[in-house]
Amino acid sequence: MDRETVLVGIDAGTTKVTTLIGEVGRTGDVNIIGYGIAPSVGMKKGMVANIDQTVNSIASSIEKAERLSGYKISSAFVSVGGSHIGSQNSRGVVAVSGHKREVSREDVARATDAARAVQVPSNREILHVVPRGYIVDGQEGIKDPLGMSAVRLEVETHIVAGAATSVQNLSKCITQANVAIDEMVISSLAAAEATLTDTEKELGVLVADIGGGTTDVAIFVDGAVYHSAVLPVGGINVTNDVAIGLRTSLNLAEEIKIKHGTANLNEVQPEELLNVAVLGDEGGQTIQRRKLCEIIEARMSEIYSLLREEVKRSGHAGMLPAGVVLTGGGARIGGAADLARDVLEMPVRIGSPQGVGGLMDQLSNPAFATPIGLLLWGAEHVGAEPLTAYSNGSSVGAGFGRVVDWVRGLFPG
């Protein structure tokens, strides 16, 4: 990357919409120069449930970020979630062309196209075709085949697709908020960008972004994504359980959960008491804190059991030495990592977003791994000229440089 540019990430989650504006330096470093966080209304389980409400939520977060930075946003990298998202691995094979029999960019693009040509039903839209590695004349484990002498080139890819209508509803909302889409990135891959180290990805690791409505999962093996999925459970389920179990309102349940909750029952003494307002009872009730935490522990255990199933489904049970990295607001509950270690029987750490500077005061917690990852994804993929760019004849980085228009002065103060 030979010049500075500005990128935008928009993460429309089930509970909050985050818009981040990041300046990308000559060396690829990313600094946040504007952010806008707005409550999300109109989304359910990571999907658009009401267009107008979602557009308003997105527009409000965009406006905050524009005011803070003095930039007008014209396009953005956008996260996509929801349990309609599924993945599969596919291999593409081509004969190396050209009289020199050296692997060219064109051969790589053709191989990726061949892998992409899997049977995808017409009601599904392909979101990612990620090259995992190459096989050159039978030699496996090649990361960059360009220039190698060969007759036959194979590529292993990870393909992610979602329900076409869900994807279209989200892009409709972004467009109606007057922003063009640079690229859609599934939440788990964005969260991985902001939290996983290269070593973890090489060794084998699972990242789980526990949001409000969904838990977005990606498994990395040999440095590349091998499996991805979205589970339809998250922090909102925990809050609902607390509200029902303690017979209190959702707002109060959310507050109590965050203030007094933990998923690690070893941290809770039986004599600890809480006063909780009860629906229809002015005086409220006194409960054991343990009762609250048992409710939380039960639901968090369920989420972790689903993660364990997902590891099994991927075929990598017992083969993820770097363990599990938890992100998302749901991972902020006390004892989240302790309980996960028990249920999953793997090393577990909480992943706070890394690798960006600038206005990070409010953003350096796991709930912002996805939006921060969107900027890192953008910084990497815009500069790197993704291989698929050659197959459709247009460069993904075409929007580069016109991502935002400089309009400082338009926004007073």
Residues near Mg ion (CB under 5 A):
13, 211, 370
Whole-angstrom distance, CA of residue 369 vs CA of residue 4: 23
Beta carbon nearer to Mg ion, 33 or 230: 230
Tell me which of Mg ion, ligand ATP, none is bound by residue 258, counting a contact when its beta carbon lies within the kind-specific cut-off of 5 to 8 angstroms: ligand ATP
Phi, psi at 400, each rounded to 5°:
-50, 130
Q: How far is the CB of 106 from Mg ion (least distance, A)?
A: 38
- The partner in contact with residue 297, picked from ligand ATP, Mg ion, none with C-beta cut-offs of 5 to 8 angstroms by kind, is none
Q: CB count, 10 Å around CB of 217?
A: 25
Q: Which two tokens stand for residue 272?
A: 């600890």
Report in angstroms how near the CB of residue 229 gets to Mg ion at its nearest: 15
Smallest CA-to-CA distance from 46 within 126, 218, 163, 195 is with 163
For 64, phi and psi rounded to 5 degrees? -60, -45
Q: CB-based contacts of 355: which residues, under 8 Å, 6+ apart? A: 30, 193, 194, 372, 376
Q: Which is nearer to Mg ion, 57 or 370 (CB)?
A: 370
Is the dihedral angle over the CA atoms 129, 131, 137, 140 positive or is it negative? Answer: negative
Least gap, CB of 167 to ligand ATP (angstroms): 15
Q: Report the candidate in 166, 170, 173, 182 with the shortest Cα–Cα distance to residue 73.
A: 182
Nearest CB to ligand ATP, comparing residues 18 and 314: 18
Closest approach of Cβ 68 to ligand ATP, in Å?
A: 19
Per DSSP bridges, beta strands 86-95 and 71-73 are: unpaired
Question: Euclidean distance between the first and final Cα of the chain, in Å?
Answer: 32
CB closer to ligand ATP out of 47 and 103: 47
| Binds 237: which of Mg ion, ligand ATP, none (CB < 5-8 Å by kind) | none
Separation of alpha carbons 352 and 191, rounded Å? 10
DSSP secondary-structure letter at 3? Answer: S
Inter-residue contact 77 to 7 (CB < 8 Å): yes
Shortest gap between Cβ of 238 and ligand ATP (angstroms)? 7
Tell which residue, 221, 250, 211, has the closest CA to residue 83. Answer: 211
- Beta-bridge mates of residue 37: 18
Least Å distance between CB 246 and ligand ATP? 15
Q: Indicate the residue among 34 and 328 with the shorter CB distance to ligand ATP.
A: 328
Shortest separation between residue 407's beta carbon and ligand ATP, angstroms: 29
Considering the complex, state which of residue 23 and residue 216 has its C-beta at the smaller distance from ligand ATP. 216
Please answer whether residues 330 and 235 qualify as being in contact, where contact means their C-beta atoms are separated by less than 8 angstroms. yes
Q: Which is nearer to ligand ATP, 40 or 157 (CB)?
A: 40
Residue 37's region, left for phi above 0, alpha for psi from -120 to 50, else beta, is: beta
State the binding partner of 329 from ligand ATP, Mg ion, none, CB within 5 to 8 A by kind: ligand ATP
The partner in contact with residue 87, picked from ligand ATP, Mg ion, none with C-beta cut-offs of 5 to 8 angstroms by kind, is none
Single-letter amino acid, residue 394? S
Chain residues in the site for ligand ATP (CB under 6 A): 13-16, 40, 46, 81, 187, 211-214, 234-236, 239, 254, 257-258, 328-330, 332-333, 367
Query: Shortest gap between Cβ of 54 and ligand ATP (angstroms)?
Result: 12
**CB-wise, 268 or 372, nearer to Mg ion?**
372
**Nearer Cβ to ligand ATP (253/396):** 253
User: Which of ligand ATP, Mg ion, none does residue 183 bind (CB under 5 to 8 Å by kind)?
Assistant: none
**Least distance in Å: CB of 243 to ligand ATP?**
12
Nearer to ligand ATP, 157 or 248 (CB): 248
212 binds, among Mg ion, ligand ATP, none (CB under 5 to 8 A by kind): ligand ATP
DSSP string, 132-189: EEEEETTEEEES--TT-B-SEEEEEEEEEEEEHHHHHHHHHHHHHTT-EEEEEEEHHH
Residue 22 binding result from ligand ATP, Mg ion, none, given CB thresholds of 5 to 8 Å by partner type: none
Give which of ligand ATP, Mg ion, none residue 213 binds (C-beta under 5 to 8 Å, depending on kind). Answer: ligand ATP
Q: Please, what is the minimum distance in Å from the beta carbon of residue 214 to ligand ATP?
A: 4
Radius of gyration of the chain (CA): 23
Residues 6+ apart with CB under 8 A from 345: none
**Residue 42 interacts with which of Mg ion, ligand ATP, none, CB < 5 to 8 Å by class:** none
